[in-house]
Amino acid sequence: MSVIILGIESSCDDTSAAVIKDEVILSNVVANQDVHQAYGGVVPELASRAHQQNIIPVVDKAIHDAGITKDQIAAIAFTRGPGLMGSLLVGTSFAKGFALANDLPLIEVNHLHAHVLAHFIKEDEQDANQPKFPFLCLLVSGGNSQIVLVRDHLNMEIIGQTIDDAAGEAFDKCAKVMGLPYPGGPLIDKLAAEGNPDMFSFSKPNIPDYNYSFSGLKTSFLYFLRDELKKDTDFIEKNKKDICASLQKTIIDVLMKKLILAAKDTGIKEVALAGGVSANTGLRDRLTNLADELGWKTYIPKFAYTTDNAAMIAINGYYKYLNREFVNQEVAPFARLVF
Ligand code: KG4
């Protein structure tokens, strides 16, 4: 018998609800919060308030778009963490209330696991382009940069991670230094497409194992611009595209070096990307080229499932439902939920 799961995501600044029938997506509604743009980053209190306003209409639309009725839902899955506490509380409280009112099992989902499992969301029954176990997943977002060894839907392990800033943070912070609006990642991507990636060079970290570090790059970028601006106050304006292309290339070089090492050491050739930064065109292209060169089979999530969305929460909920992994009404969110 088919299983229909309602997923809720509210960990940061996107309110999202999705309905999944087995592994096939029926609806995925995301309400973005433009309110943060004026502040150059997410303002936690404003995010919580916006979630509070959005959650009911978003869930209502997800159920409507899916063409189902509430009584067909088998369970409700929600993001328990990691994320902003005020934001998580809205989704968690909603899910608990919905479960209680409709007598449904409640399923907690780790937001980071969900990003990895986004690869298993099917557009229709015929969609068969999912990674085979075990695979490596490079999870790169505004808050995380990790290499995950995925053994099964519910069995995964971080084998490398950032010791300071995340890759998305490096994009966003460097963009801010250049005077670009938040979030800077997509803009750098766009400008980089027309620039020369070899025009400037920035420092790359030298740290052991499969770990990452981006704080040195951020500082080197800041000093580089400071020095150039002393010589020419229009330096950024005149060289914007080349600066973006060179910065993007450096970030991709750093990410790929450790991913290649991890793939070599583990002998795994199934390699996936996940998280907001996986929308980056340069990163996607590099991965595709590496696939040819190293004999990898690569998986890049559909654009709608790279940034925060509830479809990935619902698919994670589906696998947990099959495993009967439910939580009770005492569950509370965790801003720093461990992987
Ligand atoms: O996964 P995500 O939506 O949010 C969390 O961090 O949870 O990722 C957002 C991050 C931001 O840092 C944003 O700048 C980055 O993903 N991002 C990009 C691109 N699109 C989004 N970075 C580089 N290139 C892009 N095209």
Closest atom of ligand 1 relative to the 115 alpha carbon: 1
pLDDT band at 38 (very low <50, low <70, confident <90, very high): confident
Q: What pTM did the predictor assign?
A: 0.94
pLDDT band at 280 (very low <50, low <70, confident <90, very high): very high
Is any ligand 1 atom within 6 A of the Cβ of residue 298? no
pLDDT of residue 223: 96
Q: How many CB atoms lie within 10 A of CB 56?
A: 12
Is any ligand 1 atom within 6 A of the Cβ of residue 307? yes
Q: What are the pLDDT digits (tens) for 216-264?
A: 999 999 999 999 999 999 999 999 999 999 999 999 999 999 999 999 9
Is any ligand 1 atom within 6 A of the Cβ of residue 81? no
Pocket test residue of 28, 30, 141, 169 for ligand 1, highest count of atoms within 8 A of CB: 141
Burial of 90 per CB tally in 10 Å (0-12, 13-18, 19+) = buried
Is residue 302 predicted with pLDDT exceeding 80?
yes
Percent of the chain scored above 90 by pLDDT?
Answer: 90
Average pLDDT for 172-195:
95
First to last CA, the chain: 31
Average pLDDT for 35-62:
91
Is residue 37 predicted with pLDDT exceeding 80?
no
Q: Whose CA is nearest to atom 16 of ligand 1?
A: 276
Q: Which domains does the chain show, CATH number per domain? A: 4-127+305-322 (3.30.420.40), 135-301 (3.30.420.40)
Distance of CA 31 from the midpoint of ligand 1 (Å): 16
Is any ligand 1 atom within 6 A of the Cβ of residue 247? no
Rounded distance, CA 278 to CA 171, Å? 12
Rounded distance, CA 88 to CA 69, Å? 26
Closest atom of ligand 1 relative to the 190 alpha carbon: 26
pLDDT band at 23 (very low <50, low <70, confident <90, very high): very high
Q: What are the pLDDT digits (tens) for 213-229?
A: 999 999 999 999 999 99
Mean model confidence pLDDT for the chain: 96
Q: How many CB atoms lie within 10 A of CB 180?
A: 21
Distance of CA 141 from the midpoint of ligand 1 (Å): 5
Q: Of 39-48, 77-86, 273-282, 323-332, which range is least confident?
A: 39-48
Distance of CA 180 from the midpoint of ligand 1 (Å): 15
Q: Whose CA is nearest to atom 5 of ligand 1?
A: 142
Pocket test residue of 307, 312, 336 for ligand 1, highest count of atoms within 8 A of CB: 307
Is residue 337 predicted with pLDDT exceeding 90?
no
Which DSSP state fits 40? T
Rounded distance, CA 198 to CA 246, Å? 6
Is residue 1 predicted with pLDDT exceeding 90?
no
Q: Whose CA is nearest to atom 8 of ligand 1?
A: 276
Is residue 333 predicted with pLDDT exceeding 90?
yes
Is any ligand 1 atom within 6 A of the Cβ of residue 275? yes
Q: What are the pLDDT digits (tens) for 113-163?
A: 999 999 999 999 999 999 999 999 999 988 889 999 999 999 999 999 999
DSSP element (H, E) containing 319? helix 311-322
Instruction: With H, G, I as helix, E, B as strand and everything else as coil, classify residue 109.
Output: strand
Distance of CA 209 from the midpoint of ligand 1 (Å): 25
Percent of the chain scored above 70 by pLDDT?
Answer: 100
